Amino acid sequence: MSKIVSLKQAIAENLRDGDTVAMEGFTHLIPFAAGHEVIRQGRKRLTLIRMTPDIIYDQMIGVGCAERLVFSWGGNPGVGSLHRFRDAVERDWPVPLAIEEHSHADMAARYQAGASGLPFAVLRGYVGSDLPANNPRIKTVTCPFSGEVLAATPAINPDLTVIHAQKADRQGNVLIWGIVGIQKEAVLAAKRAVVTVEEIVDELDAPVNSCILPHWTVNAVCHVPGGAHPSYAHGYYGRDNAFCKAWDGIARERDGFRAWIDKHVLGSVDFAAFRRSIARG
């Protein structure tokens, strides 16, 4: 059976209310289209994991998809705060959002541990920081060889990881290049994985050391050109900085945000329709 399915089908089959989901990307290749599909399907009580939650998580938090956020840096890069995220943390709107906060080095190590079948990650982390005192999931472990005390945090094993990549072949092998971030580890740590891609090609034609996720590590591959917009896809399109700046105004007030979501995301059948909708304004 082909792994190449519609994004609607992929989300419907792989994400349930209450799941833990990681939609990863480090500025590059953020799976925006998939996030919108989660909003359209009205998923609730999700635990969202991401090193760098940005606009797409702001949207998902703002519509009330999430009850918990696990992260290490939350913001609209180069622009400022995430207003929906802050409204949820500071004023419980539209629903309370519990947060579990780590550092980047820790989150990366936790995904690696998850992908490696280990129960926890170990790192030289958080020296002198107040984070461990405010996050019971940051503990210490003593090295049995040297006696050094190191930070220990639980592995991340999401129910579902979603990423966006440049290419897949018809079998569903996925190729990703440029800033590859944490995507490989996030996919290999997850129980299920969905990948949206810019292109589906006959041959990946990739050098041997390329970052490839073999088809048998992913559950579904979806052809969604432009699916990382307004983030960028190296070799395909640049970051839409104008949208990222405009988001600051769109998300600032609850009513304006809801109206924007209703009109452009819920009012569109898929991501291509959404792109046409925002182009019309």
Partner 1 sequence: MAEPAYTPNEIMTVAAARLMSNATVCFVGIGLPSAAANLARLTHAPDIVLIYESGTIGAKPEVLPLSIGDGELAEYADTVVSVPEIFRYWLQGGRVTVGFLGAAQIDRFANINTTVIGPYAKPKTRLPGAGGAPEIAAAAGEVFIVLRQNPRAFVDKLDFVTSAGHLTGGDSRAKSGARGKGPTVVITDLGVLKPDPVSKELTLVGLHPGVTAEQAKAATGWKLKVAERLEITTPPSAQELAVLRDLHARTAKAHGQQVGEG
Q: Which residues bind partner 1 (CB under 8 A)?
A: 26-28, 51-52, 71-75, 77-78, 81, 85-86, 89-90, 101-105, 108-109, 111-112, 123-131, 134, 148-149, 178-182, 184-185, 211, 226, 229-230, 232-234, 236-242, 244
Closer Cβ to partner 1, 85 or 257, answer by number: 85
- Output the smallest distance, CB 151 to partner 1, in A: 9
- Output the smallest distance, CB 148 to partner 1, in A: 7
Q: What is the Cα–Cα distance from 17 to 262, expressed in whole angstroms?
A: 21
Closer Cβ to partner 1, 100 or 170, answer by number: 100
Distances (CA, A) of 81 to 77, 78, 84, 86: 9, 10, 9, 8
Closer Cβ to partner 1, 16 or 104, answer by number: 104
Q: What is the DSSP letter of 155?
A: P
- Give backbone dihedrals phi and psi of 24, rounded to 5 degrees, phi first: -100, 165
Closer Cβ to partner 1, 127 or 208, answer by number: 127
Closer Cβ to partner 1, 51 or 66, answer by number: 51
Q: Which amino acid is at 68?
A: R
- Output the smallest distance, CB 225 to partner 1, in A: 10
Distances (CA, A) of 265 to 41, 94, 152, 246: 11, 18, 40, 16
- Output the smallest distance, CB 144 to partner 1, in A: 17
- Output the smallest distance, CB 27 to partner 1, in A: 3
- Output the smallest distance, CB 169 to partner 1, in A: 22
Closer Cβ to partner 1, 85 or 260, answer by number: 85
Burial of 2 (0-12, 13-18, 19+ CB in 10 A): exposed
Block residue for tokens 């004023």: 91
Closer Cβ to partner 1, 103 or 219, answer by number: 103
Q: What is the Cα–Cα distance from 29 to 273, expressed in whole angstroms?
A: 20
Distances (CA, A) of 154 to 107, 146, 151, 189, 232: 10, 22, 10, 12, 31
- Output the smallest distance, CB 13 to partner 1, in A: 28
If one counts every other C-beta atom within 10 angstroms of the C-beta of residue 228, the result is 30
